[in-house]
Chain A
Amino acid sequence: MERISACVQCGRCSAGCPVAFESGQSPRQIIRLLQLDQRGEARRSPLLWFCATCQACSTRCPRGLPVLEIMLALRREGQELGEVRAPAFYRIFRQMIEKSGRVSEWRLGFKSALCRFPRRPLGQALLFLQLWRRGKIR
């Protein structure tokens, strides 16, 4: 993490990020928060949980910063400190692994959808069906 100061805020990570638009925050800003020592705020950024770990940020960084690793570290840190509760999907995924050592995709999908969108069970069920029919969920 000592290399964070090497970031020149060029924004290439953000421009390449496929999920930044969803979260309202960009990887560049997360790094900036770290440079400003506002780690807590960085840990609480919703972007962390949107991240699809696609590595576009790390690949494009001209200073060679491991942007993705930084994001993942912040995720862990937030959880360990109890500041942040991981989104349902991650929690359920983890519980399943801890319990049985394997993941059942349909149960994961079902459970997390139930947590995230409890009020729209029908829509979720339809989506599930479509996915299942195309073999995207097993």
Chain B
Amino acid sequence: MPPKVDREKCDGCKAENEPLCEQICPGDLFTLGEDKKARCRMPRDCWDCMSCVKICPKGALETRVPYQIGYHQAKLIPLMGTNSITWTLIDLNGKVERFHYINRGSLD
């Protein structure tokens, strides 16, 4: 469900045409709010693909599971490398797990 925008961190990609999240969202769900920060216009329509979270250079976006089906406040944070990705998974009890794997190029 809804990508949460940290309005402190978001710089609206400096309000140039479209912020990166607006560009990337497969559902055309992001737009630039009047405060020149990214805004999800229809959180209900999000597919949780996390493309926006991955692309945000400010680390200002977070995908949340709707409370109705998932407790507060688990987190899943991707960090993009050049040819690998790491994920930090924090469960509702604060237990941290980390994943790292190659997402481009050869595996050796």
Contact between A and B in the complex (any CB pair below 8 Å): no
